[in-house]
């Protein structure tokens, strides 16, 4: 994790640590929305079973897609920071020669 002193110094990035919290928050939100969509689709099945089944399938697929998109977004942010670290290491290695 990071300490409170890291918030006031610019030697270390805080975002790679915090992005994991945002990812898990996005996963929880996607799952809660998926459950809400499934309950709504079950309610719709009482009146129109075909439409309720379509809603249920789209709710499940939407939940999986939301989790995948959250993961891709989090990995993209982490890749940007990792590229920055590698470029800094290359720069430091070039200065030592």
- Domain count of the chain? 1
* pLDDT above 90 for 11: no
Closest to 39 in 3D by CA, of 20, 22, 52: 52
Q: Model pTM?
A: 0.75
Task: Report yes or no on 46 lying in a domain.
Answer: yes
Q: What angle do CA 26, 32, 33 make, to 5 degrees?
A: 90
How many Å apart are CA 33 and CA 35, to the nearest integer? 5
As a whole-number percent, the residues of the chain with pLDDT over 90 amount to 62
User: For residue 52, what are the domain limits?
Assistant: 14-92
pLDDT in tens, 18-31: 898 999 999 999 99
**Largest Cα–Cα distance of the chain, in whole Å?**
75
Secondary structure class of 47 (helix, strand, coil): coil
Residue 8 lies in a domain: no
Q: Give the model's pLDDT for residue 92.
A: 87
């Amino acid at each position: 994790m990071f300490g409170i002193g890291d918030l006031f110094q610019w030697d270390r990035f805080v975002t790679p640590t915090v992005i994991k919290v945002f990812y898990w928050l996005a996963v929880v939100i996607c799952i809660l929305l998926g459950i809400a969509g499934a309950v709504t689709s079950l309610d719709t099945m009482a009146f129109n079973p075909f439409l309720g089944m379509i809603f249920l399938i789209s709710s499940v697929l939407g939940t999986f897609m939301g989790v995948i998109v959250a993961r891709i977004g989090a990995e993209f942010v982490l890749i940007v920071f990792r590229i920055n670290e590698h470029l800094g290491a290359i720069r430091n290695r070039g200065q030592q020669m």
